[in-house]
Amino acid sequence: MGTRYLGTKEEVTALNTYIKLVRAADSVSARIHRHLDAAHLTVSQFGVLEAVFHLGPLYQRDLAEKLLKSGGNITMVIDNLEKRELVRREREIEDRRCVSIYLTEKGQQLISQIFPSHVAAVVNEMSILTAAEQEELERLCRRLGKQE
Residue 148 pLDDT more than 70? Answer: no
Cα gap 128→105, rounded to integer Å:
36
What is the sign, positive or negative, of the torsion defined by CA atoms of 131, 132, 133, 134?
positive
What's the pLDDT score for residue 131? 97
Q: Name the CATH topology of 39-143.
A: Arc Repressor Mutant, subunit A (1.10.10)
Chain mean pLDDT for the chain: 92
What's the pLDDT score for residue 147? 67
What is the sign, positive or negative, of the torsion defined by CA atoms of 124, 130, 131, 135?
negative
pTM beyond 0.95, yes or no: no
- Residue-wise pLDDT for 92-141, tens only, equals 777 777 899 999 999 999 999 999 999 999 999 999 999 999 999 999 99
What's the pLDDT score for residue 96? 74
Residue 7 pLDDT more than 90? Answer: no
Residue 1 pLDDT more than 90? Answer: no
* Structural domain boundaries in the chain: 39-143
Other CB atoms within 10 A of residue 3 CB: 15
Cα gap 57→49, rounded to integer Å:
10
